[in-house]
Structure 1
């Protein structure tokens, strides 16, 4: 196409002003939209064909040179007056938009930014000032609050989107340019001698003008797809340790996802025939993850943030009943699991003196400890057969459990009740101590005995109050019950010890015992005394009716008596005559009910 023909000033100015007064340019979005208040960075792009203010340039502030014989466009015809360019260079960080001359397309009056984000901020519909009148380049519609503001750098006039202020610093005007590269109109900041210029040969859209119509934009440019990360959503809690990243982007570009610590979680490429992309993450530990997804290959990288949480794995829940079986008997047991157990390694360990002999799920295998396998997803029950050993002792079989995971974390205990077969006799209740009529010195009695393994044994007082119990007699049949209260010295009788099997009383024992406290005192001879005579005489006090006995150092019975039934006083004269000497090492004992409850030593000297 040839250069613009210079028309007479008045005619060309009238038609140009009419055409450009309402001219709008649609700028295609690049990358992600920036907020209206954003101040995108700008930069210069080296251009060997810069034409601004170079040798041979001729321009004026709105003055259009006259051209003899110039013909004004007629209604219905159109001429190309410029090209709207959107460029993303394959090298460097440039991305910009602009208006070219109608020449070869290599000399372009550009509105550009040095970053994809900056170019994106120029996107939208902008209204240009009329020829012959300075004014802002303003956005329309949702971009009405934005104006392009010049940011001059050396011999180039750059622009960036800014909030409209009405300041003359945001004003532009059309100037006529004529040089060896181009003849036509260019947009200049009012405050600058340099136009928005440069050179380019990228894809473009043409601006056409006829005598009566506004500028029309005819797109020949494929838009750059926006870059988005759609999953995981910001603030999401994912349900897997390998979440899938997905979104949209420019075909053929590369996408990488990295944490703020620059750990790469995933990477992929946007397919050449699509704008959608997805890629699974590496295995992630529980925790919060923040960082950026970066698209590369559109000139400048485009980044978006991510922020999601991988929760700690939920522990599977399990419940398992306590079966009751006799030695040698087999029963079916059904364990129940919650949904979190699906897909997990599950192991069931049998209780002591039992073994698991069969399982109904093919995913599980038997071994010497029980069964193990991966519970299928969606499965919530597991049935197996438990058998008690032939020689299993009667009572509670413990030690079983249900675990999950390779570390065998316990999620339920597993026990069994081993009971006697119905045709086997029940072991009798035997109270071994205190025996009926026995005297004891403990003020908190301890009853001991034997009974039916697995049975319940309880002690009740003569008035029916429970004084102690054992809920389950162990497999040996032995039991022990400590009373739940302390007693004063006295006789206790009329209470019962009972045995219950499956809640039914089978045997009973009526207790009768006496609690006494030692009261033995030797008043003469005292330790270290010297006495005269040939037969020592010992005196003292004890429990009324207690048996007091003196035994020599060599075990000789030196004498005994019964303490006075009322006062407890007693006197013992040794059985034989003794030579003058020191006598020690023997004992004086006090016995009640045939049981020694107290003793003391002696040490005295016999003199004639």
Structure 2
């Protein structure tokens, strides 16, 4: 059996209990000697255990309990040194010996003894009686992390000594993962540690934020310290179970070069780091000069800032955007006012945004018109969705106000046009997006108003798309998709969210009927606002709006059928011959069929484009009266009307 160095010359003993990983050994009886009362050699030391390779709570210290009724306590610690400082002295059998573990508890000598009847087999400081239960022997323990000799109860026939829930306990027989190992001088075993790796910021890189976050990989559970060259810890973290760590810098760095080391506490290894913090250049506004007067209604704004940064200037009074541009590579920015100014004092804020860093500068000037001009142009406004609003449909509909006759365009954050429309003479506009969007936050785009092709004003949009919870879906129950109607004026019916607006739009966008508010039952009915000619109608939509936001759309597809007319034979008519021929008119493309009084199939025909059809009965029939059968018309497989025949067959064509 593998042994450690002899303990006869050791003045300090640390018992290291580890929560070992990997499959446990088979539960076999330990190969140890039976207790021998003549073996009394022992050694004293402090009782320290180790639960895992490193990190918070990796070690525990065994102290004295107050009485024999309570298990012996074990407090947890981060390092071996802390645990040794908290531990009390006990006496153990020598490494090759068998004997008790003795200690002094409240002035009385006590021997450690496990209680095998308990679920967790806690170890108590019992009165020393020389029993087998108080005998402890040594057995080898070796796992992927630790190796050494463990103390086994009952002279080697019981469980390994371990720590559980802050108290000493014993585990299953012969299972190393439940054991404890003993090593000289309280030194921890040397486990295999995952190496410390720094992934960001890269060595020698430049960062633009004063408090960057260090990231990397290392040994799970180990503390990580980012140490500057002067020795101070500027960031810290813990390696997660997946082996990665993050350590945000706790204080703002001064501009310039910085260097130091990253330390993994578990194995006290380090890697170097170095970076240069280049502060972001703050925004300045050079024109219009502060508190100056301008006499053009769309002045040029200019200044300096961080290359690549986004620059906006918002009027503090009404939030209208005056500037929306980007700093050039030379560090300058310039843009003509996005809106025509009105004669007044302007107080605005210039904002620069670069890599989540925001700086501002004041803007103050007065605009004075050189000569009177006609009434001011109405700037575009976005009323819905409002800034920060939540919509529930995948196709946003923007509404607002603007200059009558002007063109309004919705431009996305990547400068793609998402829809456009004209401002009505009442000063309102409506633009439905030309694409569907997924749930999320949408900002960075804008609504632009153009007059004669020139941008006059703009406003940003910022909204959240989140599918509506609990809203009833739009359902069209009639006409069915592919269905047919006989009357010239369609009546649409269905269900929707109570209180919602439902409208029918033709394929050309004209509103053909609507209901402003669905009643509390959720049902609705809309009559088409005009008569329709017999034909197929497809491509239009039925839409539901909840609080002005589209919340469902159904594309209709139906046919207005032409009534079935049987021109020959008419009811009561006498015809000659032995094989009747039926003729008439109906919906082009529909199917006409004749069914006899007893269900006999007497023929069918598809109505020709001119609306006519004819069917010759398939066999000869005797003279007599024929009634009880019918002629039926089917559109897209659905019977829409029928005609009951009643005629007399004369039997001769002469």
Task: Please report the TM-score for the alignment, with normalisation by the length of structure 1.
Answer: 0.30
Task: Please report the TM-score for the alignment, with normalisation by the length of structure 2.
Answer: 0.28
Higher relative contact order (CA 8 A, sep 6+): 1
